[in-house]
Amino acid sequence: MARISAQARREQFVEAAVKVMSHEGLERATTRRIADAAGAPQGTFHYAFRDKNELLTEVVGAVTQEVERILREAVDPEKGLARAINDSVKEFWKWVVGDDGLQLMQFELTIFCRRTEGYEWLAQWQYNRYASAVLEVYQAAAAHDPELPAIDLAELTDFVVAAVDGLIIQYEVSHDEARSARDLDNVIRAALLLAGLARN
């Protein structure tokens, strides 16, 4: 049987951890359950990671990279900022409603990091990376507009990220798709108004 490299094993455990945490929650995601999901002996976990907290750091990084990928693929900068706002929010929302467990896992991870001494930085890092990814695509799109937006793009980003976060919590509580669609549309409308842009 071919040996698996240390990096491949780490990636295997991260993927399995995301799956287990999404389906069963952070508390039930023991190293045994994660190893079983990875199809690996439990003992190999400690060759790949110092402890479970190191694995959680990698999980946060992996999920954040996925968010960044979704945003970049959703937006064509040449179509301008108005389309970037619309497309980024709607494509991200498809990802949100596509996996309830993943969204709950992210909230659990954020709370865990904020409550665990020495890991407070990870919650902030995660949130800052989300905001940075949004800001990056908005800046690229705004560069193709003839005029500057009416609001600083960092402030616009903060508004959009905070508003969508609120809608995620609301959706996870109610699962009211019609309400979420209406409220999401209002967030986009408000962001366009803040930026001084007409809706396309």
| Residue in this structure with the two tokens 């039930």, named with its chain if needed | 28
Whether the pLDDT of residue 128 is over 80: the answer is yes
When divided into structural domains, the chain yields a total of 2
Q: Residue 92 is part of which domain span?
A: 59-195
- 37 shares its domain with 118: no
| Tens digits of residue pLDDT in 129-181 | 999 999 999 999 999 999 999 999 999 999 999 999 999 999 999 999 999 99
Q: Which two tokens stand for residue 45?
A: 């976990």
Contact call for residues 135 and 68 (beta carbons, < 8 A): no
Q: Does any domain span residue 200?
A: no
| Residue in this structure with the two tokens 């596509």, named with its chain if needed | 98
Q: Does any domain span residue 54?
A: no
Q: Does any domain span residue 33?
A: yes
**What does the alpha-carbon distance between residue 131 and residue 162 come to, in Å, rounded to a whole number?**
9
Q: Does any domain span residue 99?
A: yes
- What does each C-alpha distance from 73 to 66, 87, 144, 184 come to in angstroms? 11, 10, 17, 20
- 98 shares its domain with 172: yes
**What does the alpha-carbon distance between residue 85 and residue 149 come to, in Å, rounded to a whole number?**
12
CATH number, domain with residue 23: 1.10.10.60
Percent of the chain clearing pLDDT 70 (strictly above):
98
pTM recorded for the entire structure: 0.89
78, burial (CB in 10 Å: exposed 0-12, middle 13-18, buried 19+):
exposed
Whether the pLDDT of residue 1 is over 50: the answer is no
- What does each C-alpha distance from 144 to 9, 129, 138, 149, 173 come to in angstroms? 43, 24, 10, 11, 39
- 9 shares its domain with 76: no
